[in-house]
Chain A
Amino acid sequence: MASMLLNTMRAGSVSPSWAVRLGARSLSTTAQLHAQVQTKSKKTLSRPGVKNIVLVEGVRTPFLLSGTTYADLMPHDLARAALQGLLQRTGLSKDAVDYIIYGTVIQEVKTSNVAREASLGAGFSDKIPSHTVTMACISSNVAMTSAVGLIAAGQCDSVVAGGVEFMSDVPIRHSRKMRKTMLSLNKAKTLGQRLSLIGSIRMAHLSPELPAVAEFSTAESMGHSADRLAAAFGVSRVEQDEFALRSHTLAKSAQDAGLLKDVISFKVPGRDIVSKDNGIRPSSMEQMGRLKAAFIKPHGTVTAANSSFLTDGASAVLVMSEEKALAMGYKPKAYLRDFVYVSQDPKDQLLLGPTYGTPKVLERAGLAMSDIDVFEFHEAFAVSSLTSDGKETVQAFAFLGDCVLLICLVILRCVFVFQGQIMANLKAMDSDWFGQTYLGRKSKVGAPPMEKFNLWGGSLSLGHPFGATGCRLVTTVAHRLQKEGGQYGLVAACAAGGQGHAMVIEAYPQ
């Protein structure tokens, strides 16, 4: 307990409002956590010959519903805000990092290497190279593990990794026919050629091409897949709604208790200062129960309320080798240990990444499920938060449904990850049959205990800016380990394309 308090004070010292947070934290510490702290005497995962790589700090902009306060920004503006927040929080000098990596999913064409635009804009030295990676919803995980790789290989000592997603604006293109005509127009030499090309434009040319509404390989939307997955694992509507409610409730109390200290304040140009996530809306089972199925109609179980919503947001973490961090006078938050990437059938196992990744990474680290103190699983998102009342959402949806042309609906559908998905993962991990048949194990993986699981809310309630969620998960694990006094944390996430990621994080000794 003493060490815990000490720990919080240390961590709190970075924050301007540490006193308030300390109070809140003491209150939320439960008896059960005390018990855990006492039984902790686990070995460290440090291995001879392998560099210790640490998470020094992690920050994020508030995650906002798309189309709200961030609506007029560009993606690199958000990423810039996160980077500036990180600089401010750590007091890092602007030329003290060796490399910057960002993850993003839907690319703004003008800033396709958003990492470079954001780092320049954030004032980092123009001598620091930066690149952008993408791997759907685990893009920023890739950014972080790339940083780990660079450091482990001895190429860099300190790297900033992050992620950004901006869904308030997405690239909508001309149709392929129109693009072809326009490109030919560039090459046309005579007026006659130009006129004949212009004359060839038909109505069909004018219909725009929206960002992919479905998994490319299977042509199935993720919502549809999530609904099928929920059915395959027998996850009922009620279970999903309960989980959604849990996520929102936990997020709300974490927010109220000031636990979400990775959130930085951001003065949005032309708007107010934003300092809180705005998608957390605990509803009631009745309200959620009134919603109609969003994808498989009418008997589906995935609704606006139990899937995650479209979010704008950015995150950033500072990753260093342990020596470098200590040499620079930092007190690291956690060690980044083993990690794995997995991939499966993108049709029927699209969202089962955590189920495959968890046992694999635990095996790599030589840990058992019971060794893990903190679980942070990516749980994806919900449309319901577009409006606070479920009823309104239904109306909004009905309206959207009527106006088939409303592009936003189409886009909305393309990218939801769902929460039936997380339940399905939990059930898959708890199923002997699945373990034996698909994971090649003797028995089930075992589901994470709910009392250690996503205790500060998840993507469903906090929001899920695809490219930025990974850093949020890792930072949250680090903060929860500090707060709850555990030693090991596990991050797991699924991504489009049937891929997944899992990482073990070890608390930095206090």
Chain B
Amino acid sequence: MSCECFKGSQWRAGISTDHQSAADLTDRLSGSGSKSPRKPQRQHFDSELVSFTSYHCSLTSAPKMAGVRALGVLSRFTSRRYALYSGATCRTFSVAPAMLARTHVNYEVKGDVAVVRINDPNSKVNTLSVQMQKEMAEVMDEVWANNAVQSAVLISSKPGCFIAGADINMIQGCNNAEEVTTLSKEGQKMFERIEKSPKPIVAAINGSCLGGGLEFAIACQYRIATKSKKTVLGTPEVMLGLLPGAGGTQRLPKMVGLPNAFDMMLTGRNIRADKAKKMGLVHQLVDPLGPGLKSPEERTMDYLEEVAIEYARGIVSKKIPIHKVKGSMEKIQDYVMSFGLVRNQIYNTVQSKVMKQSKGLYPAPLKIIECVKAGVEQGPVAGYLAESQNFGQLAKTSESAALIGLYQGQVACKKNRFGTPQREVKTLAILGAGLMGAGIAQVTVDKGVHTVLKDTTVSGLARGEQQVYKGLNDKTKKKNITSFQRDSILSNLTGQLDYSNFAKADMVIEAVFEDINIKHAVLKEVEAVVSPHCIFATNTSALPIKDIAAASKRPDKVIGMHYFSPVDKMQLLEIITTDKTSKDTTASAVAVGLKQGKVIIVVRDGPGFYTTRCLAPMLAEAVRVLQEGVDPKKLDALTTSFGFPVGAATLADEVGIDVAAHVAEDLGKAFGSRFGGGNVEVLKTMVDLGFKGRKSGKGCYIYQPGLKTKEVNPDIVDIGQSSDQDSPCYRLVSRFVNEAVLCLQEGILINPLEGDIGAVFGLGFPPCLGGPFRFVDSFGADKLVEKMRQYEAVYGNQFTPCQLLLDHAKDSTKRFHM
């Protein structure tokens, strides 16, 4: 199978694993054990954050500063101005023309309830942009001034999105930390006014309610959410190296308790509506409706609004209590939390877990703890101050810039720049039901694509089908899908040993053994049975696509699709095009990948393409480091403290020593001594000894089933002799980075952005560095070249910087990312 079998190399492991710590803590404190199913941390990042961004940067960034100031002015004056009018006149005179002028926020008075509607006309999602905030302040002032209005309902006009967060461009556009702090203070002020509103405000939430959106909602007096799958609440700021900067760090702990608040803010995870209700984050739930007198989406929104209005009236008439009656567990928890000692223990535990898992490389989680602590221990004034100041500081850190860059890159890599393919892939056939093949089936079959899984043996097929079933069944156990959905999804999967259904296939992805002869054989077999339009995609990690395509009668239909194992967890898909691959074939492959939920980079053909080619020299260097006598554990510790989610020795084991040896040999032939480093013979010896990595139970470590801890393989220590060394991290990283830059120089990579995304999402390059290209920018090409020259003197040409890197070193104005 393909070589990237390592798991857990998600780029945001540093932050996301905090989730574990905080969740553990929550469990311990609330005594609930570990019953609550935890979502796999990686996979939901994309869905939550796609909506977190704003796509309308050009619109909001221009009038930004002026807008922010205007907001402050308005919020101070408007309420007094409107108070002069009586309710009725106010409506007649001020509302009508204002409604025409306003584009983002509008309101309508239904009886005694003002229904405030949010809708950003320029985007699929609502963000708290300058314009939005300004209009919101205006509208709220009118609502407060209107005597006919007793209460308000806050609702979005977009069915899939309440408010997806603050406008990132607004934050990025600030020149210094002070400006961001001001921004945060304005937000705090606005939400404070919402919180202290004399007329109850009910937030009616359908769709994503994230970041600033959630902070807005929790400032309201009452929250009603739909039980729709799209409805998620969360504070994903930490994933962008930020913190909830508009009162979130202050209000959340009060609302859901310290442990839950830390869990939410430190992991940034999404909370579904039912969980939110249990946590006390929302008061009521509303069911999404099916088709009725209108489309389900429209009618659900109407219904939500109707129910919210009902509650708003109920709150005014005191029929509906705003504060939930606390259960005995909550009372006990509150009591326990009233001891400073207990709280301190929590801060310390959370802090140490964060430090352990982020290695101190990510400042945001630590700042979040600081802000919460300030608010709880020193009161709101200190808390809000700490929040706004830390927010300002964080926004200007390189880590935040790197994470935001990755996020934006990820969004960019979720688009098909090759256009819409002529044919939609409705039937996808996969050759080989191994870990890879079945993994590809797993991410395809639940997207409504008829998936054919072919293997050569019954046992192989059974294993593969079981893998697909297990993946779905695990989702059922976590209640992400019902058992019925699982069954109906599985009905789209056909397992077989022959080519019988291949005539219907629109695309065939082969995931057979990495051997050019086998690849040629299946290519010919497939071409004999498929229809003329069918695309042949090959899932290889190192074999050049053009060599595989050489056996094809129609090389324009041949393309490389390099998945990473485990396919259902790893977000990256590397698509490799040859000179002969047609544009429509590429468009189709990208479309399939996007459907599978992948982040896609499209690279040109060459030995090792992009990802494998960058990884190989790094692993070669890791082997050399091991040979020099560095203990695998030490190497792992060093690399993880540099920011790699998975240590280099573990990575080698996960990839498979045999695969590494294979690739090292192949690429060594193609690229010569630059790919040297550790002696390939060492790898081969290890393979001969049966040390193939995790899959054989022994590699750099010894793996025992059921045991999480792993011991260093004692035999491996004999491979090298002991010597004292500096941190070898820069040796590993500089070779990685140099190869990446060389890929750009040679045109394998189209742009640095895809290079960063590929390295972080596929290979676990430290997310806090933002990828190899951003690393060069922030570290300084000149400094890197200087380091490499030193290594070159000791180790030879493997450290010779490439031309593009030298160019950048010479001219400090040259940057990969602007």
Interface of A toward B, CB cutoff 8 Å:
216-219, 224, 227-229, 231-234, 296, 299, 345, 347-349, 424, 427-428, 431, 433-434, 437-438
Contact = CB atoms under 8 A, between A and B. Distances in A.
Nearest to A297: B284
B786 interface: no
A299 B293 contact: no
Contacts of B482: 217-219
Interface of B: 284, 286-296, 299, 303, 307, 310-311, 482, 484
B307 A299 contact: yes
Contacts of B293: 232-234, 427, 431, 433-434
B294 A433 contact: yes
A299 B287 contact: no
B440 to A, nearest CB: 28
A347 B484 CA distance: 12
B291 A231 contact: no
Given A219-B482, A232-B299, A348 B284 contact: no
- The 5 A-B residue pairs whose C-beta atoms are closest, nearest first, are A348-B290, A232-B292, A232-B289, A217-B484, A233-B292
Given A299-B311, A349-B290, 17 more contacts: A217-B482, A217-B484, A218-B482, A228-B287, A228-B289, A229-B292, A231-B303, A348-B289, A348-B290, A348-B291, A348-B296, A349-B291, A427-B292, A428-B292, A431-B293, A433-B293, A437-B291
B291 A434 contact: yes
Contacts of B290: 228-229, 232, 345, 347-349
A231 B292 contact: yes
Contacts of A218: 482, 484
22 contacts: A216-B484, A217-B484, A218-B482, A218-B484, A219-B482, A224-B287, A227-B287, A228-B287, A228-B290, A231-B287, A231-B289, A232-B290, A233-B292, A233-B293, A234-B293, A296-B287, A299-B284, A299-B286, A299-B307, A424-B292, A434-B291, A434-B293
Contacts of B311: 299
A434 B292 contact: yes
Contacts of B307: 299
Nearest to B224: A299
Contacts of B291: 232, 348-349, 434, 437-438
A73 B288 CA distance: 42
Contacts of A427: 292-293
B798 to A, nearest CB: 59
Nearest to A437: B291
Nearest to A424: B292
A484 to B, nearest CB: 32
Nearest to A225: B290
Nearest to A296: B287
Nearest to A427: B293
Contacts of A299: 284, 286, 307, 310-311
A216 B46 CA distance: 32
A218 B299 CA distance: 21
A233 B290 CA distance: 9
Contacts of B484: 216-219
Contacts of B299: 231-232
A428 B482 CA distance: 28
A296 B303 CA distance: 13
Nearest to A428: B292
A255 B484 CA distance: 44
A232 B296 contact: yes
A350 B284 CA distance: 25
A219 B310 CA distance: 28
A229 B288 CA distance: 10
Of listed A216, A299, A347, residue having the most chain B CB within 10 A: A299
A349 B292 CA distance: 9
Contacts of A229: 290, 292
Contacts of A296: 287
Contacts of A234: 292-293
A144 B482 CA distance: 35
Of listed B289, B293, B296, B299, residue having the most chain A CB within 10 A: B293
Of listed A228, A229, A431, residue having the most chain B CB within 10 A: A228
A234 B293 CA distance: 8
Of listed A234, A296, A438, residue having the most chain B CB within 10 A: A234
Contacts of B294: 433
A299 B296 CA distance: 19
Nearest to B303: A231
Of listed A424, A427, A433, residue having the most chain B CB within 10 A: A433
Contacts of B295: 437
A240 B688 CA distance: 78
B327 to A, nearest CB: 15
A426 to B, nearest CB: 12
Of listed B287, B291, B294, residue having the most chain A CB within 10 A: B291
A347 to B, nearest CB: 7
Contacts of A347: 290
A433 B299 CA distance: 12
A433 B298 CA distance: 13
B481 to A, nearest CB: 11
A427 B292 CA distance: 9
A174 to B, nearest CB: 21
Contacts of A348: 289-291, 296
Contacts of A431: 293
Contacts of A231: 287, 289, 292, 299, 303
Nearest to A346: B484
B226 to A, nearest CB: 11
Contacts of B286: 299
Of listed B287, B294, B296, residue having the most chain A CB within 10 A: B287
Nearest to A215: B484
B478 to A, nearest CB: 14
Contacts of A228: 287-290
Contacts of A232: 289-293, 296, 299, 303
Nearest to A348: B290
Contacts of A438: 291
B193 to A, nearest CB: 29
Contacts of B289: 228, 231-232, 348
A348 B299 CA distance: 12
B300 to A, nearest CB: 8
Contacts of A219: 482, 484
Contacts of B284: 299
Contacts of A233: 292-293
Of listed B289, B303, B310, B311, residue having the most chain A CB within 10 A: B289
A224 B289 CA distance: 11
A229 B293 CA distance: 10
Contacts of A216: 484
A345 B289 CA distance: 13
Contacts of A227: 287
A431 B291 CA distance: 12
A227 B287 CA distance: 9
Contacts of B292: 229, 231-234, 424, 427-428, 434
A219 to B, nearest CB: 5
Nearest to B485: A217
A339 to B, nearest CB: 25
Contacts of B288: 228
Contacts of A217: 482, 484
A434 B292 CA distance: 7
Contacts of A437: 291, 295
A222 B296 CA distance: 19
A345 B299 CA distance: 17
A510 to B, nearest CB: 42
A431 B307 CA distance: 23
A231 B305 CA distance: 12
B113 to A, nearest CB: 15
Of listed A216, A227, A348, A427, residue having the most chain B CB within 10 A: A348
A104 to B, nearest CB: 24
B659 to A, nearest CB: 43
A4 to B, nearest CB: 40
B285 to A, nearest CB: 9
A233 B299 CA distance: 8
